[in-house]
Structure 1
């Protein structure tokens, strides 16, 4: 393998919001990027390759990793950014909503991560970062979100388990646990109310989450970490 090839990051949920900014951030680090989402357009630069597909489908994970190796020759980092968030009372969730959230948040993580690890081992190591949610650790009755806790909480536990399993094999595994972030997921009229849920009194910005991911990328002694970037939500609540 050509050791002069740039490192390669795979980023899921990469068409907008945090994911699109992660693509730019990894390019600034000198990485080539494989970016995927259901609606992502074709890339306009040679060191970014896009794959359109539903990450809940195992075939999408296969196409993403195959494309990365075929195009760039290696896989070094995986950012599991794709996710669904649906806040509603527990008994109001439908079976279809359960299947959809579990499909993206859990199956999507499982399939692409399982396929990425052997490629990382082949180049001597790598880094897996997963975006979770601060609500996992800090339930809030104003935002009933059992499916988030069920799925993203599982990913936080999986992060620690994988970090220990691969600690001596060169693969670091971490997570970023955001509070409410200003993305297209939230409508403008809800921003003030959502910001009021956090101790700092405002929503986070996509750049806050991107900065946390890049910190972890550049922190070789950090693994198994759940990094809360949540405006104080994990610390407590204002009176």
Structure 2
């Protein structure tokens, strides 16, 4: 080929060999998000990491973009940072999320706006921009949405209608987008965790929370990272909701 460029071709998708792959991770300042950044960096990927309060990274392979992903301006800044610094976007991990558990009748208008803003508007805005960019690139891509197993397995002990409403919508959108863009080489999957040991849960609650899972223990951030990277490397998987919940979604 002209200029000595080398290409692999499969399933109608053309990918340049040697081009650095790039992932956008939202909710990336701590917990699962920070672990995802580290996981993709170990693979040599360039990373654009976003959260409200994220600081600058000392790693030249990581670009941090601070801001609320529910705001269109932040979503646009994230994609512009990826293209400006690395020239492309290959994967988006929609990890940012707000979880607020309280009885249904006690939710306020502010609660509703906050949860739906991040979990739905945040997902919608950045995903639309990333998919648009992937279509321009013309060599496919991957979107992974982090949801919750409570969507399919509600618990009376954890009343969380707003989580089910918002993340349930994202799970439905995962399948719809997977089908819509399969012919363009863009895969869309979701990881649906149970309770994971993050700063959100104090250590003294871990034993009790572990009892929500048939495996009898709380999950670790590495379990979620492994699931996301499994999907990343599974080129024939799209529209999948991968449960990482210690068996919770299967029943009790």
Query: 1:189: how far off?
Result: 2.2
1:121 and 1:170 in contact (8 A); partners too? no
1:80 aligns with 2:94: yes
- Among residues 151, 159, 163, which one is paired with 2:178 in the alignment? 163
**3-state SS of the aligned residue for 2:48?**
strand
Moved more, 168-177 or 189-198: 189-198
Query: 1:32: how far off?
Result: 0.3
Distance 1:45 1:209 in 2: 23
Structure 1 consecutive aligned stretches of length 4 or more whose deviation exceeds 2 Å = 2-5
TM-score, normalised relative to structure 2: 0.92
Distance 1:187 1:104 in 2: 23
1:107 is matched with: 121
1:37 and 1:52 in contact (8 A); partners too? yes
Map 1:19-168; keep pairs closer than 5 Å: 19-123=33-137, 124-168=139-183
Query: 1:156: how far off?
Result: 0.2
Map 1:164-179; keep pairs closer than 5 Å: 164-179=179-194
Distance 1:101 1:187 in 2: 22
Distance 1:57 1:107 in 2: 8
Query: 1:119: how far off?
Result: 1.4
Distance 1:152 1:91 in 2: 19
- Over the aligned positions, Cα root-mean-square deviation in angstroms equals 1.0
2:203 is matched with: 188
**3-state SS of the aligned residue for 1:234?**
helix
2:216 is matched with: 201
Moved more, 99-108 or 117-126: 117-126
1:128 and 1:173 in contact (8 A); partners too? yes
1:213 aligns with 2:225: no
Greater Rg, structure 1 or structure 2?
2
Count of residues paired in the alignment = 236
